[in-house]
Amino acid sequence: MTPSEGKVVTVGVTGASGAILAQAALRLLDADPRVAQVHLVVTETGLRLFAHELGIVAADPKQLPALITGMRTTKIEVLSNKDVGASIASGSYPVDAMVVIPCSMGTLAAIAGGTSDDLLARAADVVLKEGRRLVLAIRDTPFNRIHLENMLRAQQAGAVIMPAIPSYYHQPKTIDDLVAQYICRVLAQLGLPQQQQYQWKGQGKSKAQEA
């Protein structure tokens, strides 16, 4: 499949806690027939979090997609965060949407400040200037005033602020249940609704009727 036959999505991964969120998103994007290409940019601290939280350590960055997804994948291309001249650094390159997951307060600040001093921040800046979809799966708690102001700034520039806050009304039993439903909501924001996304039907139905 070529990019003209499917969506091109950039996934940025930073050093906020939640490497499992990046892993779940990449697995679904890799398996999604509507997606032709995924460009993956991981910050230095993002690599550290993959190691710390998931035990994923790649001797060569090119091994990352297979290690993260557990599959042999040709759809996910790793780009160096230092390479501000990569394809996704230019608005002329047809990226459909970008998600930063998880998104640290540091990278949120870089995006809100338009610093563009690494590939991830530049790619996000480009997505905003081109009027494309940018979803920021921010994670920290509690937030200070600087975080909140940066969120507002990014949102006013067009980003979707999608904190890594799971829902509970679908009655999750495991961490994977929590993660899966949050990731479905994130992908829906990227224009890729998932079949397995839980939909609240109101409280008129009992559990037995739902089954």
Ligand X SMILES: Cc1cc2nc3c(=O)[nH]c(=O)nc-3n(C[C@H](O)[C@H](O)[C@H](O)COP(=O)(O)O)c2cc1C
Residues engaged in binding ligand X (CB under 6 A): 14-17, 43, 45-46, 48, 52, 104-107, 139-140
SS (H, E, C) 28-86: HHHHCCCEEEEEEEECHHHHHHHHHHHCCCCCCHHHHHHHHHCCCCCCEEEECCCCCCC
Distance CA(27)–CA(159), nearest Å, equals 23
Residue 1 or 146 having the CB closest to ligand X: 146
CB 105, CB 199: distance < 8 Å: no
* Side-by-side strand order, sheet with 133-138: 76-79, 35-42, 7-13, 97-103, 133-138, 160-161
181's tokens: 């439903």
Residue 18 or 35 having the CB closest to ligand X: 18
Residue 15 or 96 having the CB closest to ligand X: 15
* Residue with tokens 């700034």, as numbered in its chain: 153
Give the shortest CB-145-to-ligand X separation in angstroms: 15
Residue 76 or 110 having the CB closest to ligand X: 110
